[in-house]
């Protein structure tokens, strides 16, 4: 199977999951509205921004990962389903963290931040497994060269370790600090990333005119 | 009509339907939050996982089915609409099963699991009808070869029989056992599947460079 | 601009709008659950089926309409935005009809069915305007031949007249009969439709190998 | 990276964000239904139309902007994520404006209209930054010619100034007048727009047969 429809379905799931985050905001502002009330809802905005960046960056990495291969097999699609199962769940702990971050009971906020961390850890593991599978089967999946898999594995591990640290901080110390750690990991991934098609020169890279550029003759 | 836009629309519907499942999770955790409360919501997670895998696998089979033909006619699109009508409904019985699985009244859980089974049976029948239509019209739909339709019909029937058994178990015995049966059918379909393009070698398979690989000259 | 991204965006909007219909079902079954309670919710299922078929068929006609041209201009995209504005609104009167069809006050059901009809009339008018614009500018939009525009206009008008009749029936007589009329129009459009690419042979039709089939050399 | 999957993801996000607007309508009509009640909900319809047109036009401009380049780099994708973060948030102030426009306390409506304006200003800035980045890196991004960047910058600024004026009107005078200003800006952008591919003739424009037209030989 070529990667086109797997990408199309995954893009759709990422797009809907990232948009579901706005439903947490839609719960704000019932009753009399004031600037004070909107400002007091800052944990909702913080959680929205962190989760939006996190899902956005996961989409970028997913994009890069699938662009390295030119077809996918059944096992890749099954692994992809488990990966998406984690991504779709992200709005759930996001809502819990936003609702409980400034609640009277700090224990509730920490429980929410632990769940948030566990979901991100699960997604990181799913990414690592899928990456290792693609790297191990790159010939049969039509990748001309997935370079430096060790380097990439290190980068994935960096995120995973960060999420574990954040979860431990949430469990034993502070939900606010944990959320800041999750935000820092998202910002780290904005700049650090998988070696992409530029490095690996898969089919369809910039040096060859691809279909969307269209000089067929 | 070529299959591209039918796939694009179907992928969108599958992607949204699978993401709607998270709305059931979003109802968890209002009020004071604790690890206990999150753990007690396990039927929500179980229902989420089973329905996510079920819709994910239905997408895989839909993907495989449409990849066997190179164009679709009006009747295929109408059958596809009925199939999608069932897929979009899945979050409804999922929510009912999750809400009533551990409720005080076990009868409510069984009613929910029966409805869940009936929706899955309806989708299975829609899949079978669409598959039989494609197999019967494969010449006009541009499939080079849909092999072994009898084998595929058997595989579809296996799922259908499983869903009927699950529904009967739900009706007369236990909603938990029924949900376990639905989960087992999803796991079965992770490994057993339609004969795909690898076997049938339709246009656009790996042996021919397809558009996304792009060697146009 | 080529039609690809307009189709991609439109497909996404149609896919989300059709899936939003399940949210009406998600409101069923709170409180003790029984077969009786599920059966009594039949207006919800009827409204779901009618609106699902209606949006599904609108997608089919939209698909056919855009497949007749090979590029779109600014005005087409603006008309398309107004068309989608109507399609996205469909779940709103659907929910009202479902909630009020069997309510104690029949006047409420009739009000809901009138709103439903008005939304469908607005969408029909948007379709007709867009169709007339495409037919009038077919040379500049790269359609080789949009045949029989008069015939197609008749077919559009048939639906429009049906919706007007349904709305009048809702206003002065019965919401149930009006819903049946909307259902019949959807079934009519399942079988009657625009002259498609098969008749008009636009670029990319089955007789020429298109990009997704991929024999570029 | 080619632009295809960035467009696909962005289209999905725009499509879901624009469809989320219907959830504001779904809150109408609980309790006894009458024509009066539906008419009294006019701020909901006004907010729906303004936000639908606004997101629709943002999609058009996004479409035009990405069609000018033939590939995107990491920074473009990061800027795109921030742009989408604003677009997805639009249903939130839309709901607040609709709920508070005719409420007893006019201060609440003004607060809502200020928030609406701030979100639109943030999106305008994100658009301007992304446009300036693309214009500055057009060689490396494969644009043959992005003409008249100054003219386009002027057009973007016109929208930005309009939103600032609307926000100030909301803060110190009237939420209704502010909403009218936001509507006028949307209508302005329906007719005024970026210099598109017709003018700039990037690869894949109408003069060259592109992939979807498909004359590969």
Over residues A73-92, the mean pLDDT reads 92
pTM: 0.86
Shortest Cα distance, chain D CAs vs residue A183, angstroms:
14
Say what the ipTM of the complex is. Answer: 0.83
Chains that touch C (3 or more CB pairs under 8 A): A, B, D
What per-residue confidence (pLDDT) applies to B144? 59
Is D161 inside any structural domain?
Answer: yes
CB contact under 8 A, D11 and C16: no
Contacts of B211 in chain D (CB under 8 A): 211
Supply the DSSP symbol for C192.
S
Average pLDDT, chain B: 81
D-chain residue closest to C90, CA distance: D22
Q: Under an 8 A CB cutoff, do C190 and B217 touch?
A: no
CATH code of B48's domain? 1.20.120
Does A29 contact chain D (CB < 8 Å)?
Answer: yes
* Residue-wise pLDDT tens digits, B53-105: 999 999 988 888 888 888 888 888 889 999 999 999 999 999 999 988 876 67
Rounded to a whole number of angstroms, the distance from the CA of D114 to the nearest CA of chain C is 25
Which residues on neighbouring strands pair with residue A2, listed in sequence order? Answer: A71
Q: How many CA atoms lie within 13 A of B65 on its CB side?
A: 28
Choose the closest CB to D216 out of B12, B15, B216.
B216
Q: Exposure string (b/e) for C100-123, b if CB count within 10 Å is 16 or more?
A: bbeeeeeebbbbbbbbbbbbbbbb
Per-residue H/E/C for D26-88:
HCCCCCCCCHHHHHHCHHHHHHHHHHHHHHHHHHHHHHHHHHCCCECCHHHHHHHHHHHHHHH
The closest alpha carbon to C164, from C118, C195, C126, belongs to C118
CA distance B39 to D166: 48
Considering only the beta carbons, identify the residue of B15, B84, B96 that sits closest to C29. Answer: B96
Task: Check CB contact under 8 Å for A15 and C12.
Answer: yes
pLDDT, position C145: 57
Backbone torsions φ then ψ of B20, nearest 5 degrees: -60, -25
Within a domain: B167: yes
Residues in chain A with CB shorter than 8 Å from the CB of D74 are: 60, 193, 196
Is A30 exposed, middle or buried, given 0-12, 13-18 or 19+ CB atoms closer than 10 A? exposed
> CA-CA distances (angstroms) from residue D53 to B4, D16, D73?
28, 14, 29
pLDDT of residue A123 exceeding 50, the answer is yes
Beta carbons of D112 and A7 less than 8 Å apart: no
In a domain, D145, yes or no: yes
Q: Which residue has the tokens 């006009």?
A: B140
B1 part of contact set with chain D, CB < 8 Å: no
pLDDT score at A132: 85
Distance (Å, rounded) from C-alpha B89 to C-alpha D182?
37
D203 vs B: CB within 8 A: no
What is the reported pLDDT for C19? 93
Rounded to whole angstroms, how far apart are CA atoms A81 and B60? 10
Spatial distance between the Cα atoms of A81 and B115, rounded to a whole number of angstroms: 25
Rounded Cα distance between A162 and A171, Å, is 14
List the one residue out of C75, C70, C91, C65 whose CA is nearest residue C10. Answer: C65
Query: Six-digit token pair at B188?
Result: 């079965």
Domains in chain C, number = 1
Residue B207: inside a domain, yes or no?
no
Inside any domain, residue D153: yes
Question: What pLDDT sits at residue D210?
Answer: 33
Q: Residue B100 belongs to what domain range?
A: 4-27+44-196
Give the nearest partner residue to B211 out of D12, D16, D211, using CB atoms. D211
For residues C108 and A119, give the distance between their C-alpha atoms in angstroms, rounded to a whole number: 45
- Which residue from D minimizes the CA distance to B214? D211
Q: Is residue A204 part of a domain?
A: no
**Which one, of B164, B177, B23, lies nearest residue B90 by Cα?**
B23
Amino acid C208: pLDDT:
32
**Domain annotation covers residue D214:** no
**Mutation test of the interface with chain A: which of D69, D90, D111, choosing the one with the most A Cβ atoms within 10 A?**
D111
**D97 lies in a domain?**
yes
Pick from C12, C15, C216: which is nearest to A216 by CB? C216
User: Residues of C with CB below 8 A from D63's CB?
Assistant: 1, 5-6, 9
Q: What is the mean pLDDT of residues C100-116?
A: 85
Which residues of chain D fall below pLDDT 70? 1, 103-104, 141-154, 192-217
């Amino acid at each position: 199977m070529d990667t086109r429809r797997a990408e199309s379905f995954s893009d759709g799931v990422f797009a809907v999951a990232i948009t579901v985050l706005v439903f947490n905001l839609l719960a704000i502002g019932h009753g009399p509205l004031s600037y004070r009330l909107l400002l007091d809802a800052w944990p909702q905005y913080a959680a929205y921004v962190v989760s939006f960046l996190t899902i956005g960056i996961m989409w970028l990495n997913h994009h890069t990962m699938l662009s390295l291969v030119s077809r996918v097999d059944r096992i890749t699609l099954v692994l992809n389903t488990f990966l998406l199962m984690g991504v779709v769940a992200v709005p759930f702990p996001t809502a819990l963290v936003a609702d409980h971050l400034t609640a009277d009971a700090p224990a509730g906020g920490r429980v929410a931040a632990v769940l948030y961390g566990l979901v991100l850890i699960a997604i990181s593991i799913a990414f690592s497994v899928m990456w290792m599978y693609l790297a191990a089967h790159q010939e049969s999946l039509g990748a001309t060269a997935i370079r430096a898999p060790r380097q990439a594995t290190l980068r994935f591990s960096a995120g995973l370790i960060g999420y574990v640290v954040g979860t431990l901080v949430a469990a034993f110390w502070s939900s606010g600090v944990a959320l800041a750690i999750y935000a820092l990991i998202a910002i780290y991934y904005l700049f650090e990333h998988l070696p992409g098609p530029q490095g690996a020169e898969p089919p369809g890279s910039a040096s060859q005119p691809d279909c969307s550029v269209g000089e067929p003759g």
